[in-house]
């Protein structure tokens, strides 16, 4: 543990990541896609940038408003592919709100307006040409609490591929095994795939949700505090899974755990809302090691070392 006022030692960053070739990436199927959002800027950037890397996000002047209240403002950010980007900051600073912008889950709230430009692989995700359901196939999400479907382990993982039209049993078998292996759950459940998902432990259920996300092969997986409701052993299993998955998919994770952010992320973004009257802003973003040992902004250091938040 790191005491208040103490910067994290560089040894914190030594993570032994086993080599693994996991094939193509994957995602959580989310139904829906109300066209309730608007884009303040729809211009030539809606076209795909041929130079953009697969699984990379670029945010320019992004703002989010709930009704008339602007809660996030002026966010410029690049999220690199096949790496872990951590969003940190006190509660209420817009981390989860910004995360939901990346697969347009905020659309489902109905009263949210997102401004600025967000591109995935150089393609504007906020314009009318982007189908939100298609986007969520490319950008999956794992939520704070495990939410397996009320069905078997096998059917949870196969749910997304079946909606995509995959029916052959051998193909589904292969996808289910690949996804469960990717979520580091296969060895624990391979002999009980017909077991109801609710019979699994909390940590196993969360890894099942990750496997379900992987089964539709996304480019990016968003994680909103995926280990906050889990015990330390299950948390370690989730972190080990993330370390493996980043070799194939882009991971964006919201976490309040500074040690976790230091252990698992490659890039860290610190957000802050300095008063209830002002919207949240991105204060600083950079390589995690530098952010936790020598940040540019004094507010970043104060938050990381526990002086507030």
**pLDDT per residue as tens digits for the range 201-226:** 999 999 999 999 999 999 999 999 99
Rounded Cα gap, residues 57 and 117, in angstroms: 10
pLDDT tens string 178-207? 999 999 999 999 999 999 999 999 999 999
- 30: tokens are 């989310």
Mark 125-148 as b/e (b = at least 16 C-beta within 10 Å): bbeeebebeebbbbbbbbbeebeb
Rounded Cα gap, residues 34 and 38, in angstroms: 11
Rounded Cα gap, residues 284 and 270, in angstroms: 5
Return the pLDDT at 59.
Answer: 97
Q: What is the mean pLDDT of residues 230-245?
A: 92
Say if CB 82 and CB 250 are below 8 A apart: yes
CA distances 23 to 46, 135, 169, 178, 180, Å, are 29, 20, 20, 9, 13
Q: Which of 2-6, 134-138, 246-250 has the highest mean pLDDT?
A: 246-250
Residue 254 DSSP SS3: strand
Residue 97 DSSP SS3: helix
Rounded Cα gap, residues 134 and 14, in angstroms: 37
Return the pLDDT at 53.
Answer: 80
pLDDT tens string 25-80? 333 333 333 333 333 333 333 344 555 688 999 999 999 999 999 999 999 999 99
Angle, alpha carbons 220-83-153 (nearest 5°) = 50
Locate all alpha helices (DSSP H) within 142-267, ordered by sequence. 153-163, 169-182, 186-189, 202-214, 232-245, 258-264
Taking CB atoms within 8 Å and a gap of at least 24, the contacts of 173-177 are 175/215, 176/211, 176/215
- Cα–chain-centroid distance for residue 100? 9
Closest CA to 236 of 7, 15, 5: 15
Residue 178 DSSP SS3: helix
Residue 95 DSSP SS3: helix
CA distances 47 to 51, 56, 182, 220, Å, are 12, 15, 32, 20
What are the backbone angles phi and psi of residue 217, rounded to the nearest 5°? 55, 70
Which stretches does DSSP call E strand in 89-138? 112-120, 123-124
Rounded Cα gap, residues 157 and 154, in angstroms: 5
């Amino acid at each position: 543990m790191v005491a208040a006022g103490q910067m994290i030692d560089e040894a914190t960053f030594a993570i032994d990541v086993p080599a693994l070739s996991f094939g193509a990436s994957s995602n959580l199927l989310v139904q829906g896609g109300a066209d309730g959002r608007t884009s303040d800027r729809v211009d030539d950037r809606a076209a795909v940038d041929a130079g953009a890397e697969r699984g990379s996000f670029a945010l320019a002047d992004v703002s989010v408003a709930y009704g008339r209240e602007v809660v996030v403002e002026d966010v410029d950010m690049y999220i690199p592919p096949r790496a872990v980007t951590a969003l940190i900051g006190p509660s209420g600073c817009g981390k989860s709100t910004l995360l939901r912008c990346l697969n347009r889950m905020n659309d489902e709230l109905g009263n949210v307006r997102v401004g600025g430009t967000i591109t995935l692989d150089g393609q504007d995700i906020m314009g009318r040409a982007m189908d939100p359901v298609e986007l969520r196939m490319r950008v999956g999400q794992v939520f704070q609490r495990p939410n397996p479907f009320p069905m078997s382990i096998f059917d949870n993982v196969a749910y997304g591929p079946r909606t995509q039209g995959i029916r052959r049993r051998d193909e589904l078998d292969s996808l289910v095994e690949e996804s469960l292996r990717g979520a580091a759950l296969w060895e624990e459940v391979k002999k009980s795939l017909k077991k109801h998902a609710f019979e699994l432990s909390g940590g196993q259920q969360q890894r099942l949700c990750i496997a379900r996300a992987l089964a539709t092969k996304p480019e990016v997986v968003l994680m909103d505090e995926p280990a906050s409701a889990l015990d330390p052993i299950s948390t370690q299993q989730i972190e080990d899974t993330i370390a493996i998955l980043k070799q194939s998919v882009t991971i964006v994770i919201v976490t309040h755990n500074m040690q976790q952010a230091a252990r698992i992320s490659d890039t860290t973004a610190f957000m802050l809302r300095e008063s209830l009257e002002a919207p949240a802003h991105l204060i600083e973003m950079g390589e995690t090691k530098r952010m936790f040992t020598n940040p540019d902004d004094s507010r970043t250091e104060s938050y990381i070392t526990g002086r507030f938040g």
